[in-house]
Amino acid sequence: MSSSITCLNSPRTNVSWWREGRSQPGSAGRNRSVGEAWGRSELVRAETRGAVLVVTLDRPEKRNAINEEMTCALDAIFNRAERDDAVRAYVLAARGDVFCAGTDLITGAGPHTSAGGQYGLVRRARTKPLIVAVDGPALGGGFELVLSADMVVASRRAWFALPETTRGRVPAAGGLHRAPDRLPRNLAIEMMLTNARLGADRARAVGLVNRLAAPGEALSMAMELAMETCRSSPEAVTHVLGGVRVIDEVTEATGWAVTSAAKLAMLDSPDHAEGDAAFIEHRLPAWTPPETSA
């Protein structure tokens, strides 16, 4: 089982005021409707736009790959937001040409958080809807962030992939069980075994994407969808999300158990080390031939 943390003092990031529910220093008297800033991490930005909290991954030079600082920032933001009755919905977006490339394979994403699991988000029991605005590739853990959301808005330049097996890994942030649940099973298996890309148009056709936007318009369309949810009863929304979560409990529990076993098995495999080395050295991996019976 993976260890979990509460990110009390993440290196390079001061996020303690989020966790304690205090206002950002210097933000007193600001009008929430014009965008209250929620953080001081340089890699994850958050602000309220009316009743919607917009969280933006902001590490474009690293394809928004998640490191420990970002995990702790996301955890702190959503911990605070779940306690804030003025926030009615969430939109997760990203700056740059890539939505998210998943875990930073050089530094790692840090331990799982106690409230959110991987990236501080993918196993979080939220009471408010999360909409992702995908305006570029979402691969590996980036796609698993998408799979953790309640609704998906994607632009036509977005695409999705699960390349872990090409790196000696398995999808470990929910993709192993959520991809076959959200997509046709054979399509999900193809993506996991071959690193096949799923384009936005096909993702819309198979039901993964709720709304399709023009390039550059995913965030504005996601905001429109979020504001639509804000017109519904907040208590009813909470019960709907909670009910769906209860319905999914058996599948989720089995999925996480299977994922944990597969991940542990690969950690002991020489293919795991070879996949990391090949990635760092920018070369094709040389896999260990599987053992065969005599």
Please, which residues have CB within 8 angstroms of residue 251's CB and are 6 or more apart in sequence? 177, 181
Tokens of 286: 């040389």
- Residues 105, 70: contact at Cβ < 8 Å? no
Instruction: Count other Cβ atoms within 10 Å, centred on residue 282.
Output: 6
The backbone torsions φ and ψ at residue 12, rounded to the nearest 5 degrees and listed phi first, read: 75, 0
Active site residue 164: yes
CA–CA distances in Å: residue 18 to residues 7, 8, 37, 79, 173: 11, 10, 11, 8, 25
Q: Pick the catalytic residue: 36, 47, 69, 164?
A: 164
Q: What distance in Å separates the CA atoms of residue 115 and residue 161, rounded to the nearest whole number?
A: 26
∠ CA 64-68-70 to the nearest 5 degrees? 45
Taking phi over 0 as left and psi of -120 to 50 as alpha, with beta for the rest, 75 belongs to alpha
Q: What distance in Å separates the CA atoms of residue 245 and residue 242, rounded to the nearest whole number?
A: 5
Please, which residues have CB within 8 angstroms of residue 202's CB and are 6 or more apart in sequence? none
Active site residue 20: no
Tokens of 191: 């993506």
Nearest by Cα to 92 from 126, 59, 134: 134
Q: Pick the catalytic residue: 61, 144, 249, 281?
A: 144
Please, which residues have CB within 8 angstroms of residue 101's CB and are 6 or more apart in sequence? 62, 63, 64, 65, 137, 139, 140, 141, 142
Any idea which residues carry the catalytic annotation? Answer: 144, 164
